[in-house]
Structure 1
Amino acid sequence: MRRHAPKSGSRAARVGALVLREAAQWVLSEIDEGQVRSAALTEADVSPDLKQARIYVTHYRGEAAAREAVAQLNAAVPRMRRELASRLRLRIVPNLVFAYDPSVDQGFRIDALLDRARRERGEEGDG
């Protein structure tokens, strides 16, 4: 999964930030279901033509909880798009797709590996 990174200051980047903020607000105010309330929307990747937005989701309980939240959010997309259409001043509201964001979990795994390497290095130096 490779995200395309729009240039900072580009219209796609600005629309992505706006969609992410409004989607997060919508989730907080409208969704009262299971894993979604504890999920974090981490990034919105908007296509250059502004027709598609992929919103990345993570969860403090890990991948399984995040994937459950993604499924619930994708089921709520029609309601969310209608609400975003009334909130956003855009001619076309992007089609929304929610996806699991593995970057946070990968970061935790890397931190754990680094901690282990530091401990092992410290133990070797003490001997």
Structure 2
Amino acid sequence: MEKSFSRSIRIAQELKKNISQIIQFSLKDPRIVTMITVSQVKISKDLSHAQVFLSFFDINQLSNVKKTLIILNKSISYIRKILCKKMKLRIIPNIIFYYDDTLIKGDKISFLLKTIIKHNKYTDSIS
């Protein structure tokens, strides 16, 4: 029977916390101009690979998001070096950063639902 709070979940939570701190405080790249939030970390069962999903505060230009992801993916070795000092793990997972657009999709769905509700209220008041 699998534990309800497995080791991989705890490590993923610690990675999320530490990576967000590293991006916010230790990464001093002037090309990164937007605020970055680590929304989720998915880690493999053998703890050797981690997918880090990021959301950006200012997403007006998709090209800036792509450039920021390229910059972050090039600085993975530096981030892993700092993670080695912060976390007491035998193997620090290989990290790959991905863009998380679930907030944008959620806003679009919410907007569509609101317009449907308004449309239904309008058509109900006419009939």
TM over 0.5: yes
For the aligned pair, the TM-score class normalised by the smaller chain equals 0.7 to 0.9
Corresponding residue for 1:18? 14
Residue deviations 1:77-125 (CA, integer Å, cap 9, x gap):
1100000001101011000100011211111111111111111111112
Alignment pair present for 1:30 and 2:26? yes
Q: Taking structure 1 as reference, are residues 85 and 70 closer, same or farther at Cα in structure 2, changes over 3 Å only?
A: same
- Quick one: which of 28, 47, 50 aligns to 2:47? 50
Secondary structure of 1:48's counterpart equals coil
Take 2:119 and 2:105, find their aligned partners in 1: how far apart are those partners? 21
Alignment pair present for 1:104 and 2:103? yes
Give the number of the structure whose alpha-carbon radius of gyration is greater: 2
* Contact 1:36–1:72 (8 Å) recurs in 2: no
Residue type of the alignment partner of 1:82: K
Corresponding residue for 1:126? 125
Secondary structure of 1:81's counterpart equals helix
Take 2:72 and 2:124, find their aligned partners in 1: how far apart are those partners? 50
Corresponding residue for 1:114? 113
Take 1:61 and 1:119, find their aligned partners in 2: how far apart are those partners? 29
Alignment pair present for 1:92 and 2:88? no
Alignment of 1:57-76 (within 5 A): 57-62=54-59, 64=62, 65-76=64-75
- Unaligned runs of at least 5 residues, structure 1: 1-6
- Unaligned runs of at least 5 residues, structure 2: none
Q: Taking structure 1 as reference, are residues 99 and 34 closer, same or farther at Cα in structure 2, changes over 3 Å only?
A: same
Residue identity (%): 22
TM-score by length of 1: 0.85
Take 1:17 and 1:23, find their aligned partners in 2: how far apart are those partners? 10
Residue type of the alignment partner of 1:51: S
Q: Taking structure 1 as reference, are residues 34 and 125 closer, same or farther at Cα in structure 2, changes over 3 Å only?
A: farther
TM-score by length of 2: 0.85
How many residue pairs are counted as aligned between the two chains?
Answer: 121
- Measured on the aligned residues, the alpha-carbon RMSD in Å equals 1.8
Q: Taking structure 1 as reference, are residues 37 and 60 closer, same or farther at Cα in structure 2, changes over 3 Å only?
A: closer
Take 1:8 and 1:107, find their aligned partners in 2: how far apart are those partners? 28
